Amino acid sequence: MSLSFEERKTTIMESLEKEEKVQVRLLATILQVSDETIRRDLDRLEKEGYLKKVYGGAVKTKIHNWELPFDEKTMINKKEKQAICKAAASLVEDGDIIMIGNGTTPLDMIPYLADKNEVTLITHSVPVMLGAMDAFKGRIVFIGGEIERNQKYMSGPLSERMLELLQANKAFICAGGISTVNGITDYDISGSSISRKMMERAEEVIILADHTKFGKTTFANMCSLTDATKIITDDSCPNEWKKIIAENGIELLIANEMN
């Protein structure tokens, strides 16, 4: 039985992560499909931003430096994000002080926190703060500063100064990319800087990342891979990355969409 595109994609992306490049003929032999099938797969993956086609194959896209506006991102991988956030919320215990960073992924945590008691929520994300006002019964601390209109969060020296005055049990941070070479990255300097400050002020750092973030590097470094206490992803996480995360001593939680 022939492999599906998603199964072929996993092999292609695992090869890219290890070798930085792939060859059409070699992939066709490994996957037992035609060269034309591999070329179509590479065309599709190039359009999705995973790689760049070159003569005879493709190379890994090194840096992603452009991010969709917040509202456009909300429907991308929606089911995966909801599953990840349900798993993330299950880690929050009564009495916890938690930090939730910016991005569309952590926004979906809010509905799953409704039954938590005496939880303090600290955030610099405007959508997270507004959502919490409607659905969260605990204490809310909103971090002020300079607003980033495109992604709807607060950042800058004022934001970081406020965070220096606070301490949390857990920080839930969204990753733009996760790479063995470049660590955990974000799309812009201000976003990565305030995420890094949240990590410094929390006992546990929990990274939220759907499967598309693995093997990807975005513009601004946030932290090294081993700075994460846990990583929560969906059940399409590549097997190669499951091994990499385990080898680095990081706890990996796989969120099943059916749960």
Domains of the chain: 5-60 (1.10.10), 70-255 (3.40.50.1360)
The CA-to-CA distance between both ends of the chain, in Å, stands at 29
Q: Which pLDDT score, from 0 to 100, does residue 2 have?
A: 73
Q: Token pair 């490994």 is at which residue?
A: 30
User: Which pLDDT tens digit goes with each residue over 227-258?
Assistant: 999 999 999 898 889 999 999 999 999 998 64
d(CA 198, CA 102): 11
Residues in the chain: 259
The answer to whether residues 176 and 187 touch, using CB atoms and an 8 Å cutoff, is yes
d(CA 152, CA 141): 16
The answer to whether residues 227 and 124 touch, using CB atoms and an 8 Å cutoff, is no
Give the CA angle between residues 254, 204, 196 to the nearest 5°. Answer: 100
d(CA 18, CA 25): 18
d(CA 153, CA 198): 14
d(CA 123, CA 207): 15
Q: Which pLDDT score, from 0 to 100, does residue 180 have?
A: 84
- Return mean pLDDT, the chain: 88
Q: Which pLDDT score, from 0 to 100, does residue 76 have?
A: 61
Q: Look up residue 252 and give its two tokens.
A: 């990996």
Cite the DSSP H helix spans in 136-207: 157-164, 189-200
Q: Which pLDDT score, from 0 to 100, does residue 78 have?
A: 73
Q: Which pLDDT score, from 0 to 100, does residue 219 have?
A: 84
Q: Note the pTM of the prediction, 2 decimals.
A: 0.73
Per-residue pLDDT tens digits of the chain, which is 259 residues long? 578 888 898 888 888 877 778 999 999 999 999 999 999 999 888 776 677 888 999 987 655 554 545 555 555 667 888 999 999 999 999 999 999 999 877 888 999 999 999 999 999 999 999 999 998 999 999 999 999 888 889 999 999 999 999 999 999 999 989 988 789 998 888 889 999 999 999 999 999 999 888 988 888 899 999 999 999 999 989 888 999 999 999 999 999 864 4
Q: Which pLDDT score, from 0 to 100, does residue 73 have?
A: 54
Strand partners, 221: 185
User: Which pLDDT tens digit goes with each residue over 170-201?
Assistant: 999 999 899 887 899 988 888 899 999 999 99
Q: Which pLDDT score, from 0 to 100, does residue 4 have?
A: 87
